[in-house]
Structure 1
Amino acid sequence: MPSNAVLVVIGGLPGTGKTTLSRLLAARIRAVHLRVDTIEQALVRSGLARHPVGPAGYVVGYALAEEHLRQGLTVIAESVNPLAVTRDSWRDVGVRAGVPVVEVEVICSDPAEHRHRVTSRSVDIPGLPLPDWQQVRRRDYEPWNREHIVLDTAGDEPEESLNSLLHQLDRLRLLARDGLPGTW
């Protein structure tokens, strides 16, 4: 039986709204939400790693995503996803599982709003160190090198950003009905 599973990869700098958007999307479409921050903090709590964790959190995320996708579940994979190699690895997970992959880069184009988000947010994963504004600004973050959805959350309420993303995902579904590959 063919699966309707999709891998939605959501990336972007800290404070852009990735987690909020991922949670809302997962609830709306009844998908699994895999958050690399949660995985990394679990590794730290286990005593197997210290911050920064390095690639281990992503590697665990890739394995979990592939397992869920093979079960026919849609997965929202959320992380900063700062490097082309991590983005390629998520795409490879979808290819191995035989499901479409949609990549979403979340940005906040208003520097003042972005800074306020970074400096005013609270930790939602006990023990997870949050970066300060200077760390976010200095973060290595390679430009995306292929077509993807860019979602600017500046000035939007979370539900508005979700509706914008759902609209863009719906457009991809229409393309799929026309037989174009690489979409859902």
Structure 2
Amino acid sequence: MKETKENSGLKKICQEDELIRQFGLYHLGRLGPTEEQRLKDQDNIRTKMRTLARLLVRLNEEELFSHPLSHFICPKKIDLVAKTAKELYQDSGSSQLGISLGHYTKQVSLLKSSLCLRRQDYGRKQDAKEFSEMFDAEWKGKVSSVANRSKRLKAMNKSELPSAEDLVTLKRFLVEKNKNSNRKEHTYIC
């Protein structure tokens, strides 16, 4: 993990939070053996982990004490997670972030369920299962659809103007064409 000014403290969160670590390991495992992994792919996974860390930081702003991500993957916190994810992507101006946070949150809830099953912690596994069910039922309406609509509207309203160089070139072409057509008219009149 890289520590940068923009990502101050996120490296530590990624290293210390069990679910974020498991999320990273899961994605690294999907890349195959270390010798086959590309640096670009590893960087992409670090970016995903930092995104989850940002979500966790924002979630903890609503709490009296700092909690791990697993604390928020329960049915009581689904509304807070959805609201926070929506605020994060709206603050950043990136609809894609809202869509990505949905994918990451779903994966994290499945990972929590898996970890709890391995530990035979059936109470927390049930929390993760119920969170996943509520996620499937509500996330699209609260976050994903809104983000997708914003993304489509942004694309529709995007006006792509030609560059100044292209406009100058077009002007020269039209002026030259106009001169040539005027010369031809004068040639036929004589």
| TM-score, structure 2 as length reference | 0.30
Larger strand fraction of residues? 1
Larger radius of gyration: 2
Q: Higher helix fraction: Structure 1 or Structure 2?
A: 2
User: Under a length normalisation based on structure 1, what TM-score does the superposition of the two structures give?
Assistant: 0.31
